[in-house]
C-alpha cells in the first residue's frame, strides 16, 4: 500500500483583546486505511499578519475580526514593548 499524508485544520480560535487567531492542524500518515502516525502543529497569527499569506479559511476569519480599531490597538500595544 502507498503512504498517504493528510494535513487538516482541527481547530481555529479567536482569543484575547487583539483577536489573535490560533490555528491547530493535524497531520496524519496512513498506510492504506491504517494510521501509522499523527502529529499536531499550532500557529498563532496576530493582527499585523499579512492576510494574503493565510489560508482562505483563516483569512476569512481575519477579515472579520481584525478591524482597523483592533489593528491600531495591537500596533500601539506592540510599540510600548
User: Which stretches in the chain have pLDDT values below 50?
Assistant: none
Q: Residue 18: its pLDDT value, please?
A: 97
Spans of all domains in the chain? 3-80
Chain CA centroid to CA 40, Å: 12
Residue carrying the nine cell digits 496524519: 28
Q: Residue 63: its pLDDT value, please?
A: 97
Q: Residue 59: its pLDDT value, please?
A: 97
Max CA distance (Å), the chain: 56
Amino acid at each position: 500500500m502507498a503512504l498517504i499524508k493528510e494535513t487538516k485544520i482541527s481547530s481555529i480560535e479567536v482569543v484575547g483583546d487583539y483577536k489573535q487567531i490560533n490555528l491547530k492542524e493535524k497531520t496524519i500518515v496512513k498506510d492504506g486505511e491504517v494510521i501509522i502516525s499523527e502529529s499536531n502543529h499550532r500557529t498563532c497569527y496576530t493582527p499585523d499578519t499579512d492576510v494574503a499569506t493565510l489560508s482562505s479559511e483563516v483569512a476569512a476569519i481575519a477579515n472579520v475580526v481584525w478591524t482597523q480599531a483592533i489593528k491600531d490597538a495591537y500596533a500601539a500595544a506592540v510599540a510600548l514593548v
